[in-house]
Structure 1
Amino acid sequence: MNSLSITVHAPADLERPRPVTGGVPLAEGAAPAGVSFFLADPEERSLPLQTDVLGSWKDGSARWLLLDFQARRAGVYTLTWGEGDSPTHPQPVIADSAVNSLTTDALTLVPGDDALVCIADRLDIAFTLGDAEDRICKTAVESIQVETAGPLRSTLALKGSFNAPDGKRLFQFRLRVSVYAGLPLVRLEPFILIDAAEGTLQYFRKLKLNVRPHAPIRFAHIGGDPGWKGDAEGTIRLWQYDDQNYAAEGESGLSTGEKAPGWAEIDDGRGLMSAAVRDFWQQWPKSLTVRPDELTVGLFPIFEEGDYASMEPWYKYQYLFDGNCYRLRTGQARRWQLWIDLDGSGEELAQIANEPLLPIADPAQAIATGVWDDIAPAGSPDMAEYDPWTANLFDAYCHSIAVQRDYGEMNWGDWFGERKVNWGNHEYDTPNQILIQYARTGDPRYFYWADATARHMAEVDTVHFVNDDLARYFDENWGRDTYPSRPGMVHQHAVGHVGSFYTVEQVRQLFEEVGNGSYLCLDPFNLGHVFTQGMVRHYFLTGDPFVRETTETIGDNLARLVEDRQFRFMGTTHCGRLTGWTLLALAAVYEMNFDDRFLGAMKILADDALADQDEVCGGWLIHPMAYDHCLCKSARHTGMAGFITAVLINGLSRYYLLSGDERLPDAIARAVTFLDNDTWREDWRDWRYTSCPATGPTHQPGVVMMAHVNGVRIAGKAEHLRVLRAAWETKFERLLETPKPGPGQGKAYSSLMYGCPETIGLLAKRS
């Protein structure tokens, strides 16, 4: 049947339609190239629909489809496809690429004369930076283009740089501006990329987005409990100092609160307008300032030296601040979302910003397309015990974020506490684990959390630019001739997410104080912590162009590293994770558009891994193992950590499923057998940590469970299934009790959930 059920969760009794944007999957061959798509609302009335094919199957049929439509109510909508024309919106967006304008019946968006854009001949939007000396650095636009020209949503994209008063280029900015047919709504996505020509760290005092009405502001209301409301005669500022405190100050005095909602309303004499910032308090510090001539959104609001000196622990929060300046590492990026409503309340707009309506594909239908692997939708009879179990683990993850206060401009979306002092940078691909739950359940809460995690990975943890100073810093401390410093490297868990904020010696001393080992986690060359599948799936669910750009940059870096044949992937104590995670990362990028370059790079890695696999035992025998993988004194054991062997098995399995390489089934079966012969303890119903018999239990790690899932799927060995079932029963029983919040709970969630949906899906079928 050529149809897909789509659920929209929306507040009751909407006074006007709201935009809905998101991706849905389709089965191979179901929607051939060139078909038309149609949408019906819960009353089976045809609706205007805008579509864009984000990814295709190899036969050219649509694999992921981005939908844009408008919804007035919650319910089940129906997507169909075939021949014919979809109904049009009575007032579609008109995009004029010749002059870079977007026009709806509610507004016109054009490039500004003394601003970046002008909205409805009523508002100008500017982007202002205050450098380390607080000199005003304005934007220089280098390019403007209509990025998306659609009847229901169109987007204008600007790109340029901030320039100092003396003309020196500082770093890049971008701004994406979207408008919607028939609606007075504008979505702004300001962006910075720290691509300065010099310096490892870049310092500045403030960064703000300026909303400047053409007429003076007469009245203002800033949301909060308490907020501020009154005539806009002086300066009114709400400053979200941290995740628990804000202060609103105006002519009438000072009021304080905890978590500001991040919206403001202004009246310019032509009616009430509102603005709302997504995840306002979560991304502290933030500010909203109203003066008679403008509303200012402080993305990095100005502060004074000492304001954050008491934020503890210092290694968790204070890396962002230096004196009275912010500091960002060269190569990082930051983005925000701001909505403007020319005719609506701030409270409603904040809901639009923070809980956007989503087109949620029916879980059973979405999973049946094959894009989510072989898992089972929530609510299936065999999932009666698993569904509350996994929901409980997710609630524990969210609770831990709140209890630990894992918030902040550079922190929101990540979790803290790896090795007690590191930000996690989403080891084990947190976005992917949460998005799988979104696909299984259709619960939008999972998407909202996964969206924050994927954006964090793309913006904060990935190296987008390398200048000579940053390359020298990397090379002098950790460099190797076989891996050049370049964009597409990804930082593992580290102090300050990417290091560089404190000296290597300071971090070494910190590690000694808390009892960590000697490995400081500061370099970006560790390929054992590169994860792309969550970001790729996020792109397919959102159409986010920057997330796609990021994953393509990572994929290009990895492919070049493999193709150059200089970097040694195999033959070292961590070769399984280096090769395995790289295979999995390349596989996800390959699935974006099935570029054979990435499949070819995977084949090279598979060739090397197969060449090193022992023909007798089926494993990879490394001597000596890592210092902490065998502590024996008289002689060191040979082998690998079990989880590292498992990661390699998983990477090879993914390559097999994409390529059909006939060498792999036997190799995978022998590798899983080796893993069990080497580390499985029947009395524990668990695997020990490494090939060394003195190491302890691992509590059924997700990657090892997934290796057995792959072994059973590909080779069908009964013993592998038996071991998997025994391990699963023990793991399930152990985690019936809710994990307690604390440092590293994010890693616990990701590593625990890794492979769980695939395991329970397989066991349900083989019961």
Structure 2
Amino acid sequence: MIRKNAPLPPVPSALRLTRTPGAGPVAALEIRTGDFTFALDRATATARLTLADNPALTFTLSQLTTEDGANLTARIDTLELLETGPLRTVIRATGFHRGAGGPPAAPPSPAGYGRFDILLTLYAGATHVEIDHALAPLSEDPAKNREREMQRFRSACIPVRFAPASASRTTLQLTTESRHLLPGQRLFQHEDNAWTIETANATGARAEGILLATPDSPSASATSTAYATVRDFWQQWPKAFSAAPAGDGFDIDLFPTLTLSSTNPYASRKDEQIWYYYLRTGAYEVRQGVEKSHRLFIGWAPSPDSAHTIARALQTLPVVLPPLDYINATQIDDPMLPPMSGGLFDDWDRAFLAATRSYFDQQKENRWYGLLNWGDWYGERRYNWCNHEYDLPANLFRQALRFQDPEMFREAVRQTTHLRDIDVINHHADPTRIGLKWKHSVGHTGGYYTPGAETDMHLPNGGRKDDEFFLGRSTPGHIRVTSFFQNHQLTGDPRALEAGRKITDRLLTDPLVTNPRYKYITAREPGWTLVNLAAAWRATADDRYLAALNRLADNVLLKAEGHGVWLRPLRANQTGGDIKTGELSFMVAFQTAGMIEAWKLTHRDDIRQNITAAARYTADNLYRSEYRAFVHSPSRTRTQTPRAGGLAGNNLRYIMAYACTLDPSLLPAFREPILDSFASTVANRQWVGTKQNPDRPYPHDITSAFYWLNPDQTVMNTLFGDDLRNPANREKILKRAAPASVFPPNSARWEEDRIGD
């Protein structure tokens, strides 16, 4: 925090950029600020950091060892300046790792392997470079990629070396975890809670991910300390720092060699599907399309103590949040009520905050860590990762702004980064697959296990086969993009914007959007696609997205035939036999939420009428006055659990309330269902749904129950704000609630039947 009237820091020395021209593209770049200089040579993909007359520090952008043991080095194909100015410069380098020959001129020159995309950021007055290193394991030869969906490689690192000053050899002292790292030694974070320096017989729990390097050079008038730090080092295990055998530097092992005591420590491990599925072979095994990134820093500081202090500070993403009234004034998103705005709104906010705290607790206790896992949660169907089906980071971004909570914001960035890196097909031999997002699968992407073989894992799937969770599948009903656009708008991350556009562009080709006669699975497919198209248009103003939104809205209207939703054929387990067609609870809610987003952009009257018709369908078929809550199926003879809050209840009440703002004549009929179901939610602590411990909710519902929190509170405030805030009305409103006996006991812990043994 900056105190009022605190003295301002000195004005930093502006960045000065020099380009060295080449025969074609720029051959080299140099950026200076004060005594610090950063230089990048395009031909060798080597960067140099110098501070005053200290020995030069150099690093190659990336090195990779293939599955068959070939050592490849980054070779730059494209070099861009994304941003230049006196305060910040951002360089982007992309290419492949190749052998000594560089780009393959013609067969039989071997193709490169491992596409890299590296952002290098320099700041005025700072003596470090920020590196965003992304690696996509795939061959430069598309034919090889077509032969192999699952890709393997042994290791990848950033080698850092110190050049001798003049004729005097520089000696180097490396320190990590308060221990000296001797030439040839490696600190290996091989689990989230265990690191080892084998030849030093040293062990520990969670390394902070900082290495200090102090050169001792006779020619330097004063010796500074270099440092390297990897953000979320142990959380993204395996990780390592290795001292170069020659004693002249170290390697930052982003993907360290997977050996411990000369063996693979990850073979045949318990709970393999949680932590070891991509490590079990002794090589990194990932599905084509993954592009894993790491954020790290390399720099200079005056002393070991100051180097450590700076490195620790860089490990935490700095967050500055604008005031809520400013955000609302921009009108870039739905208006947000101030947090804890009084009365029953406080209960609502406390429920969300408690659910979020529970998420962080479960993240720690269940150890949702690992290089491919960090930023996601495990156990959606006992054996799989969730892939943030309901876009939790989008809600965390919104509520971080509303509650002015930097940790929510940081978690949203982590989760969006995971979604972009792991759960989306970023590159592929088949261009029609680029932009697909995997639904919740074993190992995030599927592809690690053969259905019905190798394993006794069985994932509940409504009586149907569970093959899709092992093989991986993408459907529009499980695709979300809002958090990518939010991340770009709030942090400037260029790859977040690219991911959001990539996914949305792929949606434009889906039959759901292109074929008006397409019979989608449930109403949530068009609903979430409308939400995605609206978010993409707001972020980019690309009229292709708005045109697709209008076409899809037309398709929804065509199938709904005035009923609000398509009355599709129901499966046998979705009805008690009294009806054959209709739509289920949260599917109705999410289609209508998508149409609400479409209406906000278009103000089409036919869309408005569809929203109100869907609300009427909800009131007539999915609300049960005897429960003062909703049910899942429109069937009257099906045995059902009442749903006041959670995925179904909160969202159905939201669309009914929103419909009243579009057509006030609905309010007399809808007032009782809205207030009664809300009271049942508050009084019975049903915020995250039924059959759950409200103090430890299923993470799925932390977002699905609260996804529309901001517009939901806004419409409830519009309709009933004074009543909900007035302390004198509290007991009167809560008396509307159904008795606790209507709902199953709030005691089930979702982990008991969802987490592996």
Q: Given the two structures, how large is their TM-score scaled by the length of structure 1?
A: 0.81
Q: Structure 2 counterpart of 1:445, which letter?
A: E
Does the aligned pair in 1 maintain the 2:132–2:295 contact within 8 Å? yes
1:308 to 242, 260, 266: 266
Alignment of 1:696-711 (within 5 A): 696-700=641-645, 701=647, 702-711=650-659
The code of the aligned residue for 1:328 comes to V
What is the letter of the counterpart of residue 276 of structure 1? T
Letter in 2 for 1:549: E
* Matched position secondary structure for 1:763: helix
Match of 1:533 in 2: 482
Q: For residue 481 of structure 2, what is the amino acid of its counterpart?
A: T
* Residues 214-229 of structure 1 mapped to structure 2, 5 A cutoff: 214-215=163-164, 216-223=170-177, 227-229=178-180
Name stretches of at least 5 consecutive residues in structure 1 with no aligned partner. 1-8, 11-40, 48-70, 73-88, 472-484
* SS in structure 2 of the partner of residue 206 of structure 1: strand
Contact 1:423 1:494 in 2 (8 A): yes
Residues 235 and 122 of structure 1, relative CA distance in 2, 3 Å threshold = same
* Distance across 2 between alignment mates of 1:396 and 1:360: 23
2:13 — aligned with what?
91
The alignment-based identity, stated in percent, is 23
Give the C-alpha shift of residue 567 in structure 1: 8.0
2:351 is matched with 389
Paired residue secondary structure (1:124): strand
Residue 285 of structure 2: aligned partner = 327
- Give 1:491 shift: 0.7
Query: 1:42/1:342 Cα in 2 relative to 1: closer, same or farther (>3 Å)?
Result: same
Q: Structure 1 residues 380, 248: closer, same or farther in 2, change over 3 A?
A: farther
What letter matches 1:697 in structure 2?
Answer: P
Higher relative contact order (CA 8 A, sep 6+): 1
SS across alignment from 1:422: coil
Partner residue of 1:447?
409
Instruction: Give matches, 1:603-618, under 5 Å.
Output: 603-615=550-562, 617-618=563-564
Task: Name 1:728's counterpart in structure 2.
Answer: 678
Tell me whether 1:203 sits opposite 2:152 in the alignment: yes
Q: Flag the 1:357–1:244 CA change in 2: closer, same or farther, 3 A.
A: same
Structure 1 residues 594 and 155, CA, compared in 2 at 3 Å: closer, same or farther? same
Cα distance in 1 between the residues matched to 2:235 and 2:517:
41
User: Are the structure 2 counterparts of residues 302 and 627 from structure 1 closer, same or farther at C-alpha, using a change threshold of 3 Å?
Assistant: farther
Change in Cα spacing, 1:242 to 1:516, as seen in structure 2 (3 Å) is farther
Q: 1:213 aligns with which of 148, 152, 162?
A: 162
Structure-2 change in CA distance of 1:298 and 1:759 (3 Å): same
Greater Cα shift, 180-189 or 540-549? 180-189
Q: Does 1:100 align with 2:22?
A: no
Match of 1:554 among 499, 503, 516: 503
2:524 corresponds to which residue? 577
Matches of 1:563 and 1:614 in 2, distance apart?
17
Q: 2:568 aligns with which of 602, 618, 622?
A: 622
* Matched-pair contact (CA < 8 Å) for 2:513–2:552: no
Of 580, 597, 605, the match for 2:544: 597
Residue 220 of structure 2 corresponds to residue 298 of structure 1: no
730-739 vs 373-382, greater mean Cα deviation: 730-739
Asked if the contact 2:658–2:715 (Cα under 8 Å) also holds between the matched residues in 1, the reply is: no
Query: Does residue 140 of structure 1 match 2:75?
Result: yes
Report the structure, 1 or 2, having the larger strand content. 1
Given that residues 189 and 207 in structure 2 are in contact (C-alpha distance below 8 angstroms), is that contact kept between their aligned partners in structure 1?
yes
Q: Which amino acid aligns with 2:235?
A: Q
SS at match of 1:560: coil
Q: Superposition pairs for residues 25-174 of structure 1, below 5 Å?
A: 42-43=4-5, 89=11, 91-97=13-19, 99-112=28-41, 114-120=44-50, 122-126=56-60, 127-163=62-98, 167-174=110-117
Deviations 1:595-631 (A, max 9, x none): 111010011111111112133x4442111x245423x
Give, in whole Å, the separation in 1 of the partners of 2:56 and 2:517. Answer: 59
- Tell me the equivalent position of 1:656: 599
Q: Match of 1:85?
A: none
Write the mapping of 1:431-446 to structure 2, written as runs, cut at 5 A. 431-446=393-408
The structure number with the bigger radius of gyration is 2
Q: What pairs up with 1:98-497 in 2 under 5 angstroms?
A: 99-112=28-41, 114-120=44-50, 122-126=56-60, 127-163=62-98, 167-196=110-139, 197=142, 198=145, 199-215=148-164, 216-223=170-177, 227-229=178-180, 233-250=182-199, 253-269=200-216, 270-291=223-244, 292-304=247-259, 305-309=263-267, 311-343=269-301, 345-382=306-343, 383-468=345-430, 485-497=432-444
Letter in 2 for 1:371: I
Offset of 1:96 from its aligned partner? 3.3
CA distance in 1, matches of 2:671, 2:312: 47
The alpha carbon displacement at 1:763 in A equals 2.3
Structure-2 separation of matches of 1:464 and 1:684: 47
Q: CA deviation at 1:142?
A: 0.7
The TM-score with structure 2 as length reference comes to 0.82
Alignment check: 8 A CA contact 1:637 1:691 kept: no
Supply the distance in 2 between the matched residues of 1:106 and 1:733 (Cα, whole angstroms).
64
What amino acid is aligned across from residue 228 of structure 1 in structure 2? R
Find the aligned partners of 2:252 and 2:12 in 1 and give their Cα distance.
34
Contact persistence 1:236–1:290 (CA under 8 A): yes
Match of 1:159, as an amino acid? Answer: T
- Whether the 8 Å contact between 1:572 and 1:622 is mirrored in structure 2 is no
Distance verdict in 2 for CA 1:139–1:341, change over 3 Å: closer
Is residue 685–residue 726 contact of structure 1 (8 Å, CA) maintained in 2? yes
In 2, the alpha carbon distance for the partners of 1:289 and 1:734 equals 55
Q: 1:254 to 1:511 in 2, by over 3 A?
A: same
Q: 1:325 to 1:516 in 2, by over 3 A?
A: farther
State the partner residue of 1:63.
none
1:179, distance to aligned residue in structure 2 (A): 1.0
Q: Is the 8 A contact 1:158 1:175 kept in 2?
A: yes
The amino acid that maps onto 1:660 is H
Task: Name the residue aligned to 2:663.
Answer: 715
Query: Which 5+ residue runs of structure 2 have no aligned equivalent?
Result: 22-27, 101-108, 165-169, 217-222, 722-757
| Alpha-carbon distance change, 171 to 234 in structure 1, aligned in 2, over 3 angstroms | closer
| Paired residues of 1:190 and 1:335 also in contact (CA < 8 A) | yes
- RMSD over equivalenced CA pairs, Å: 2.8
Structure 1 position 724, deviation (Å)? 2.9
In 1, distance between residues paired with 2:317 and 2:550?
A: 41
Amino acid at match of 2:191: D
8 Å CA contact 2:395–2:703 kept in 1: the answer is yes
Alpha-carbon offset, residue 589 of structure 1: 0.8
- More deviation in 354-363 or 160-169? 160-169
Q: 1:679 to 1:109 in 2, by over 3 A?
A: same
2:533: which partner in 1? Answer: 586
- After superposition, the C-alpha distances for 1:653-711 in whole angstroms (9 at most, x for unaligned) are 10110111121222211111101211111232221112233133344224334423432
CA distance, structure 2, for counterparts of residue 362 and residue 564 of structure 1: 38
Distance 1:282 1:724, change over 3 A: farther
Structure 1 pair 635/662, CA: closer, same or farther in 2 (3 Å)? closer
8 Å Cα contact 1:207-1:301 kept in structure 2: yes
**Alpha-carbon distance in 2 for matches of 1:320, 1:743:** 29
Tell me the distance in 2 between the aligned counterparts of 1:568 and 1:665: 22
1:756 aligns to 2:709 (yes or no): yes
The equivalent of 2:747 in structure 1 is: none
Q: CA deviation at 1:638?
A: 1.3
Give the conservation status (yes or no) of the 8 Å contact 1:262–1:350. Answer: no
Partner amino acid, structure 1, of 2:561: D
Hey, what's the Cα distance between the residues in 1 that align with 2:389 and 2:277? Answer: 21
| Secondary structure of 2:276 counterpart | helix
Query: What's the CA shift for 1:533?
Result: 1.0
The 1:559/1:361 distance shift into structure 2, 3 A limit, reads same
